[in-house]
Amino acid sequence: QSTEIYAKIDRLKAKAIENGFIFDSSWITRSLNENETIESVLCGHSELLVIALNLIQEPAPKFIQVVKNLRVCGHCRK
Protein backbone atom coordinates (compact mmCIF):
# COMPACT_ATOMS: atom_id res chain seq x y z
CA GLN A 1 0.00 0.00 0.00
CA SER A 2 3.04 2.23 -0.29
CA THR A 3 1.68 4.11 -3.31
CA GLU A 4 -1.58 4.90 -1.54
CA ILE A 5 0.19 5.93 1.67
CA TYR A 6 2.48 8.41 -0.10
CA ALA A 7 -0.42 9.73 -2.19
CA LYS A 8 -2.32 10.42 1.05
CA ILE A 9 0.76 12.13 2.52
CA ASP A 10 0.99 14.32 -0.60
CA ARG A 11 -2.67 15.32 -0.28
CA LEU A 12 -2.29 16.08 3.43
CA LYS A 13 0.89 18.07 2.76
CA ALA A 14 -0.81 20.13 0.03
CA LYS A 15 -3.78 20.83 2.30
CA ALA A 16 -1.48 21.88 5.16
CA ILE A 17 0.45 24.28 2.90
CA GLU A 18 -2.81 25.64 1.49
CA ASN A 19 -3.91 26.41 5.05
CA GLY A 20 -0.69 28.27 5.87
CA PHE A 21 1.38 25.53 7.51
CA ILE A 22 5.12 26.17 7.28
CA PHE A 23 7.47 23.20 7.51
CA ASP A 24 10.21 23.86 10.08
CA SER A 25 13.62 22.78 8.79
CA SER A 26 15.12 22.94 12.28
CA TRP A 27 13.77 19.41 12.88
CA ILE A 28 16.04 18.03 10.15
CA THR A 29 19.35 16.97 11.66
CA ARG A 30 21.22 16.09 8.47
CA SER A 31 22.01 17.64 5.12
CA LEU A 32 19.37 17.25 2.43
CA ASN A 33 20.19 15.06 -0.54
CA GLU A 34 19.93 16.52 -4.03
CA ASN A 35 16.41 15.17 -4.65
CA GLU A 36 14.97 15.96 -1.19
CA THR A 37 12.96 18.89 0.11
CA ILE A 38 12.23 19.91 3.68
CA GLU A 39 8.67 18.72 3.19
CA SER A 40 9.66 15.33 1.76
CA VAL A 41 12.02 14.59 4.64
CA LEU A 42 9.60 15.65 7.38
CA CYS A 43 6.62 13.91 5.76
CA GLY A 44 8.61 10.69 5.50
CA HIS A 45 8.78 10.18 9.26
CA SER A 46 7.24 6.91 10.42
CA GLU A 47 4.70 8.66 12.66
CA LEU A 48 3.13 10.44 9.69
CA LEU A 49 3.30 7.36 7.48
CA VAL A 50 1.40 5.26 10.01
CA ILE A 51 -1.27 7.96 10.33
CA ALA A 52 -1.63 8.06 6.53
CA LEU A 53 -1.92 4.26 6.49
CA ASN A 54 -4.77 4.44 8.98
CA LEU A 55 -6.49 7.20 7.01
CA ILE A 56 -6.61 5.12 3.81
CA GLN A 57 -8.08 2.07 5.56
CA GLU A 58 -11.64 1.03 4.81
CA PRO A 59 -13.58 1.29 7.01
CA ALA A 60 -11.84 4.31 8.51
CA PRO A 61 -10.70 3.72 12.09
CA LYS A 62 -12.44 5.69 14.82
CA PHE A 63 -9.24 6.02 16.84
CA ILE A 64 -5.55 6.12 15.88
CA GLN A 65 -2.88 5.69 18.52
CA VAL A 66 0.81 5.93 17.64
CA VAL A 67 3.18 4.52 20.26
CA LYS A 68 6.95 4.66 19.91
CA ASN A 69 9.80 3.91 22.26
CA LEU A 70 11.96 6.57 20.60
CA ARG A 71 11.81 10.34 20.68
CA VAL A 72 9.29 11.98 18.39
CA CYS A 73 10.36 15.15 16.59
CA GLY A 74 8.45 18.36 17.20
CA HIS A 75 7.14 18.39 13.64
CA CYS A 76 5.44 15.02 14.13
CA ARG A 77 3.87 16.16 17.42
CA LYS A 78 2.09 19.09 15.73
Look at residue 77 and tell me whether its pLDDT is greater than 60. no
Predicted pLDDT of residue 56: 92
pLDDT in tens, 34-65: 999 888 888 887 788 888 998 998 887 888 87
Nearest to 77 by CA among 56, 52, 53, 47: 47
Predicted pLDDT of residue 68: 67
Q: Calculate the average pLDDT of the chain.
A: 84
Which residue has better confidence, 75 or 32? Answer: 32
DSSP state, residue 62: S
Angle between helices 2-18 and 46-56 (to 10 degrees): 100
Predicted pLDDT of residue 76: 62
